[in-house]
Structure 1
Amino acid sequence: MGFFRNQFANVVEWEEFRDDMIFWKWNNREIKKGSKLIIRSGQDAIFLNNGKVEGIFQDEGSFDVDSDIIPFLSTLKGFKFGFNSGMRVEVLFVNTKEFTVRWGTQSPVLIPAPQLPGGMPIRANGTFTFKVSDYVALIDKVAGIKQSYVVEDVKIRITAVLDQLLMKWISREGKDMFNLQANASDIANGIREDLDMQMMSIGIGITGFQVMSFNYPQEIQDMITKTASHEMIGNMQKYQQVSMTDGIASGKVQSGGTAADMAGMMMGMNMANEMMKNMNTNNPNANNAGQGANPAAGQQANNGQNGTSAPASGESGITPKFCPNCGTKNEGSKFCPNCGYKLA
């Protein structure tokens, strides 16, 4: 009798459990008298009849369908197994764990920037986490037409809208377009909220979203790196001067003919003059009152301030043609007709 009683019995379980599978459907088979339901750790079992939820079982273990399951089904409580007939239902096994997925932009996202008409091309990457949050919505929108659902299906759905969300939140929170990492947390929180609202319709909850890094085009990244290395210089004008000097010293700045050489030489002279001017501005002690159009007059003025007098040119017996004190032309007189300075 025992053989006949259990010859049609079967085991209802997730036969090939996969970590990347969100749910798997056991169907198209009748549950016979004496059958067992096995629920493993991290799984929930949902009994469906004609697409309607009959019962949700969350405790792990092995259960007798006849005595432990049927009494808790909403419309099948009084079901009685016949000798040759069984209960035809679907059982949906749901993976209850939290899934972690890596994401990355497949192509650069063009972020509007005032200084770049075409936008700033930016790539980004990071991770997001999700889990099943609404069984009814999941069954209604996904499980009703699919036999299984995997993490890759969710990733494809999310990456399809991720570029638009990155553009939205970078434009909103990325005040410094060249230092987006400083606002990565705010950008990520905004994207998570938007994704959660979108995925809610299929019963998926986005529990976390992280931006690990923003990547600029190589030439822009090189500029950011060099700007940081020259931060001590203080302003862009000096940064350009140092960059030009580095280019000349390394040989990266090449001659382009006479016109180009002249232009380069003039640029170098202008840079040198500008740097000298900046040095004099930063060092006011370098400007002496005696450094005027007449160096000799300036020297005499400095000597006069120090209580000494310049030696008279006349001591050599020769009368100078110009006054060493004020520069006035002399016609052979022993004293300057302008300032009275002794010339001989």
Structure 2
Amino acid sequence: MGLFGNQFANVVEWEEFRDDMIFWKWSNQEIKKGSKLIIRAGQDAVFLNNGKVEGVFKDEGSFNVDSDIIPFLSTLKGFKFGFNSGMRVEVLFVNTKEFTVRWGTQSPILIPTPQLPGGMPIRANGTFNFKVSDYMALIDQIAGIKQSYLVEDVKIRMTAVLDQLLMKWISREGKDMFNLQANAFDIANGIREDLDMQMMDIGIAITGFQVMSFNYPQEIQDMITKTASHEMIGNLQKYQQVSMTDGIASGKVHGGGAAADMAGMMMGMNMANEMMKNMNRGQDSGGGEQRQSEADKGAASTAPSPSSAEGGKKPNFCPNCGAKNEGANFCPNCGQKLG
């Protein structure tokens, strides 16, 4: 596998690099005089001797092991390469980037709730972010026994405790079981803090945790929808407004039928309300004028008409258009009755 199977090998580098690999250990190889260390972007190289960290090199580039590296190693300073001999050390290459991983519950989590004695079955999914934060813890707990470590390994370790953390933070402080999405941020933040404490033991920091959605069984989702509908129906005025608006928009409120009857009833009630409002406004603002008008009408009704005042005599001129009359019962010009 390695390039150092013989005395002429002279390159120390991450030979099996993968985007999903957290670290890879170059080990059981003898570094010869004149060997080179290659560190690429996003990598750190940790030199180990008998399990002890000798030095961490973070700068990317190509370096001479005997002139650029050995002088900076704690216990290997002054190490002299022989003609055919080298030094046996391990080099742990660490991926320094932040990883983003999708997660999802494998089976429903039964969250205790008074409404359901057996618990509320809930599934959830989202993403989490992590990166290597402590090389010593990583070496002590993982790298000491493994040649490499993958993102999938971290995901398996994380999901092993995720169900308990979800149950803890969903149940905490009486979260609304039927509207968990509203509390997704608080739930995710609590899980991130607890998960970070557990992963710290292996040198991994959880830098982010997100809950994208909570999923209920279909019967529970139907119940939530029905409950929301009942709450809206409890407000009759709002229910009537929504029903009429939906009916008109969809074209269902026309002709006959229950929808049309309801719409007609509602429109009639609205018209009656408007009429009552107008009448009340008229009584408040024009009561005096109305009473004066009624008085004027009464006075006019008691006044004698021209015809009665003159004993039925035909007027000489039409009161409507002013045309001269010669005793006819109707005006010859406009047809106004004169007698």
1:136-195 deviation line (CA, Å, top 9, x unaligned): 000000000000000000000000000000000000155211000000000000000000
Q: Which amino acid counterpart does residue 80 of structure 2 have in structure 1?
A: K
Q: Which amino acid counterpart does residue 11 of structure 2 have in structure 1?
A: V
Query: In the alignment, what sits opposite 1:148?
Result: 148
User: Distance in 2 between the 1:118 and 1:205 partners?
Assistant: 36
Q: Which amino acid counterpart does residue 146 of structure 2 have in structure 1?
A: K
Query: In the alignment, what sits opposite 2:68?
Result: 68
Q: Aligned in 2, Cα 1:196/1:168: closer, same or farther, shift over 3 Å?
A: same
Q: Aligned in 2, Cα 1:217/1:105: closer, same or farther, shift over 3 Å?
A: same
What does 1:28-177 align with in structure 2 at a 5 Å threshold?
A: 28-173=28-173, 175-177=175-177
User: Distance in 2 between the 1:229 and 1:13 partners?
Assistant: 64
**Is the Cα–Cα contact under 8 Å of residues 132 and 204 in structure 1 kept in the other structure?**
yes
Offset at residue 124 of structure 1 (A):
0.3
User: Distance in 1 between the 2:86 and 2:131 partners?
Assistant: 34
Offset at residue 115 of structure 1 (A):
1.3
User: Distance in 1 between the 2:11 and 2:231 partners?
Assistant: 70
User: Distance in 2 between the 1:93 and 1:202 partners?
Assistant: 16
User: Distance in 2 between the 1:38 and 1:160 partners?
Assistant: 37
TM-score, length of structure 1 as denominator length: 0.66
**Is the Cα–Cα contact under 8 Å of residues 102 and 128 in structure 2 kept in the other structure?**
yes
TM-score, length of structure 2 as denominator length: 0.67
User: Distance in 1 between the 2:15 and 2:174 partners?
Assistant: 48
**Is the Cα–Cα contact under 8 Å of residues 173 and 186 in structure 1 kept in the other structure?**
no
SS of residue matched to 1:153: helix
Q: Which amino acid counterpart does residue 73 of structure 1 have in structure 2?
A: L
Q: Which amino acid counterpart does residue 72 of structure 2 have in structure 1?
A: F
SS of residue matched to 2:175: coil
Query: In the alignment, what sits opposite 1:201?
Result: 201
Considering only CA atoms, is the larger Rg found in Structure 1 or Structure 2? 2
User: Distance in 2 between the 1:92 and 1:21 partners?
Assistant: 12
Ranges of 4+ aligned residues in structure 1 off by more than 6 Å: none
**Is the Cα–Cα contact under 8 Å of residues 173 and 183 in structure 1 kept in the other structure?**
no
Which piece of structure 1 moves more, 166-175 or 185-194? Answer: 166-175
Q: Which amino acid counterpart does residue 96 of structure 1 have in structure 2?
A: T
**Is the Cα–Cα contact under 8 Å of residues 137 and 202 in structure 1 kept in the other structure?**
yes
Q: Which amino acid counterpart does residue 151 of structure 1 have in structure 2?
A: V
User: Distance in 1 between the 2:185 and 2:102 partners?
Assistant: 17
User: Distance in 1 between the 2:121 and 2:12 partners?
Assistant: 52
Stretches of structure 2 that go unaligned for 5 or more consecutive residues are 1-5, 240-265, 273-339
Identity %: 91
Q: Which amino acid counterpart does residue 20 of structure 1 have in structure 2?
A: D
User: Distance in 2 between the 1:228 and 1:25 partners?
Assistant: 57
Q: How many residue pairs were aligned?
A: 239
Q: Which amino acid counterpart does residue 49 of structure 1 have in structure 2?
A: N
Q: Which amino acid counterpart does residue 88 of structure 1 have in structure 2?
A: R
Offset at residue 65 of structure 1 (A):
0.3
SS of residue matched to 2:85: coil
User: Distance in 2 between the 1:228 and 1:212 partners?
Assistant: 22
User: Distance in 2 between the 1:174 and 1:19 partners?
Assistant: 41
SS of residue matched to 2:168: helix
Query: In the alignment, what sits opposite 2:220?
Result: 220
**Is the Cα–Cα contact under 8 Å of residues 174 and 180 in structure 1 kept in the other structure?**
no
User: Distance in 1 between the 2:36 and 2:196 partners?
Assistant: 37
User: Distance in 1 between the 2:106 and 2:178 partners?
Assistant: 21
Offset at residue 234 of structure 1 (A):
2.1
User: Distance in 1 between the 2:57 and 2:175 partners?
Assistant: 49
Offset at residue 56 of structure 1 (A):
0.2
Stretches of structure 1 that go unaligned for 5 or more consecutive residues are 1-5, 240-278, 286-344
1:40-73 deviation line (CA, Å, top 9, x unaligned): 0000000000000000000000000010000000
SS of residue matched to 1:119: strand
User: Distance in 1 between the 2:13 and 2:215 partners?
Assistant: 46
User: Distance in 2 between the 1:194 and 1:173 partners?
Assistant: 17
**Is the Cα–Cα contact under 8 Å of residues 9 and 33 in structure 1 kept in the other structure?**
no
Q: Which amino acid counterpart does residue 42 of structure 2 have in structure 1?
A: G
User: Distance in 2 between the 1:59 and 1:173 partners?
Assistant: 48
User: Distance in 2 between the 1:134 and 1:172 partners?
Assistant: 31
Query: In the alignment, what sits opposite 2:255?
Result: none
**Is the Cα–Cα contact under 8 Å of residues 174 and 183 in structure 1 kept in the other structure?**
no
**Is the Cα–Cα contact under 8 Å of residues 47 and 89 in structure 1 kept in the other structure?**
yes
Indicate yes or no: 2:180 matched with 1:180. Answer: yes
User: Distance in 2 between the 1:37 and 1:230 partners?
Assistant: 71
User: Distance in 1 between the 2:113 and 2:162 partners?
Assistant: 19
Offset at residue 7 of structure 1 (A):
6.0
User: Distance in 1 between the 2:118 and 2:9 partners?
Assistant: 67
User: Distance in 2 between the 1:95 and 1:41 partners?
Assistant: 9
Q: Which amino acid counterpart does residue 170 of structure 2 have in structure 1?
A: I
